[in-house]
Amino acid sequence: MRDFCTWNSLGVAYDGPDAERSLLVIWGAGCLELHAELVQYAPIVSALADTLYDQLDQAAPGVWHYEVTEALGSAIAEWIVLHDGLPPSLDWVKTCLVRLAGEFMLRGQPQQWPVIRQILLTLSAELPVIVPVAPS
């Protein structure tokens, strides 16, 4: 969250007495509640990472935490800002996670794409275009 507020283009601070508009003010339901909103998705993110790494014969094409987990947190924070403090739906979070995980994993070995696709389909039946059926 703090990273999102440091780098976002929306001009939103995390919190602070000098901030005219902050994520916590927009959220309006308290700091602990904001973090609880994010933490509820941790088991889904962790289970997906574990499943992908258990099923694939490839090393990570980057750092999952930076490129998927933090990016998902930033996307949720941006949603909250753009929707006047309302949290996203679980379906929206899963779709966003599938997109981020797909973009991340598809930088690896193309022969693994069908396996990646099947794993991602367990979270969302609507896969983004970035997840091909097979390598071209």
Per-residue model confidence as pLDDT tens digits over 9-58: 777 777 876 667 788 889 999 889 998 998 999 999 999 998 998 888 66
Per-residue model confidence as pLDDT tens digits over 57-103: 666 667 888 889 988 988 998 899 999 999 999 999 999 999 999 88
Residue 104 carries which DSSP code?
H
- Burial readout 37-55 (b: 16 or more C-beta within 10 A, e: otherwise): bbeebeeebeebbeebeee
